[in-house]
A and B are shown apart, each in its own frame.
Chain A
Amino acid sequence: SAVISQKPSRDICQRGTSLTIQCQVDSQVTMMFWYRQQPGQSLTLIATANQGSEATYESGFVIDKFPISRPNLTFSTLTVSNMSPEDSSIYLCSALLAGAYEQYFGPGTRLTVT
């Protein structure tokens, strides 16, 4: 398994500002992912964070709104840009270990936009 940490654990932000969320894994992983979970709902994949190259975004999510970096095998960031109240959600990162199919998740970042 892998231990995944996220910073910050929660934040309250004003409309129009940006927030960068950090994700750190305690071991080298093959793939990292970013999800959004709105209150009472399931997880929606935002993008796959690719090491050393541009992230792969899912339908409905764009790089200008959710820029992602992955400078090495154990670290990734997700920025939520030009925030609006609709961006209020829990943002989760996950990681896939070599040779495994299951993903391990971080504790999440609870974002509230006012």
Chain B
Amino acid sequence: EDQVTQSPEALRLQEGESSSLNCSYTVSGLRGLFWYRQDPGKGPEFLFTLYSAGEEKEKERLKATLTKKESFLHITAPKPEDSATYLCAVQAGSSASKIIFGSGTRLSIRP
């Protein structure tokens, strides 16, 4: 069964303290892995798509990487406005465009 697991569930950092969020997955034939940001009371905001192991993508203080078993979202020198829930999702080759979401990591950045 296709599965996505995110860790940690919650992470509290001081402003400027870099860290990484983990997304491990087991799917039959990965078609794409997605990272989203979700602020309270809003819909998920698309950040990145990764397609194959070794791929990396960057946007401001965020960098996403992908291996054959997991993805990391690295946050460098975070600011309070980076506080949000970060969701990982995967699309398997057999899923006909359906994506499966992980449970998310709630990130809180203290000033």
Binding site for B on A (CB under 8 A): 1, 4, 30-31, 33, 41-45, 48, 92, 94, 96, 101-108, 110
Chain A residues with Cβ below 8 Å from B36 are 105
The residue that B49 contacts in the complex, of A4, A31, A92, A101, with Cβ under 8 A, is A101
Chain B residues with Cβ below 8 Å from A41 are 103
Binding site for A on B (CB under 8 A): 31-32, 34, 36, 41-46, 49, 51, 87, 91, 96-99, 101-104
A31 lies within 8 A of B97 (CB): yes
Chain B residues with Cβ below 8 Å from A105 are 36, 43-46
CA distance A1 to B34 in the complex (A): 14
CA distance A33 to B89 in the complex (A): 15
B43 lies within 8 A of A107 (CB): yes
Chain A residues with Cβ below 8 Å from B43 are 4, 92, 94, 105-108
B104 lies within 8 A of A101 (CB): no
B46 lies within 8 A of A101 (CB): no
Interface of chain A, main secondary structure? strand
The residue that A1 contacts in the complex, of B46, B91, B98, with Cβ under 8 A, is B46
CA distance A48 to B103 in the complex (A): 21
CA distance A42 to B104 in the complex (A): 7
Chain A residues with Cβ below 8 Å from B31 are 101
A102 lies within 8 A of B32 (CB): yes
B41 lies within 8 A of A101 (CB): no
CA distance A4 to B43 in the complex (A): 10
The residue that A42 contacts in the complex, of B32, B87, B91, with Cβ under 8 A, is B87
A-B contact list, 29 entries, CB within 8 Å? A1-B46, A4-B43, A31-B97, A42-B87, A42-B101, A42-B102, A43-B44, A43-B101, A44-B101, A45-B98, A45-B99, A48-B96, A48-B97, A48-B98, A92-B44, A94-B43, A101-B32, A101-B97, A102-B32, A102-B34, A102-B46, A102-B49, A105-B43, A105-B44, A106-B43, A107-B43, A108-B42, A108-B43, A110-B41
